[in-house]
Amino acid sequence: MTKKPDFGDISETKKMVKDDFVDLRLYVADETPRCLTAYENIRKICDEYAGRKYRITVIDLLKHPEIARRDEITAIPTLIRMPRKQGSRKIIGMLTDTKKVLEGIDLPKKTIYLDQGKIRKINPAH
pLDDT in tens, the chain (126 residues): 555 565 554 444 444 434 457 899 999 999 999 999 999 999 999 888 887 688 999 999 999 999 999 999 999 999 999 887 776 789 999 999 998 998 888 875 444 444 555 555 544 443
CB 14 within 8 A of CB 46: yes
CA-based nearest residue to 49, from 91, 92, 111, 101 = 111
Q: Where are the domains of the chain?
A: 11-121
Q: Which residues pair with 55 in a beta bridge?
A: 23
CB-based contact 79:90 (threshold 8 Å)? yes
Residues 6 or more apart whose CB falls under 8 angstroms from that of 6 comprise 58
> In terms of Cα–Cα distance, which of 77, 63, 66 is closest to 32?
77
> Model pTM greater than 0.85?
no
The fourth-level CATH superfamily of domain 11-121 is Glutaredoxin (3.40.30.10)
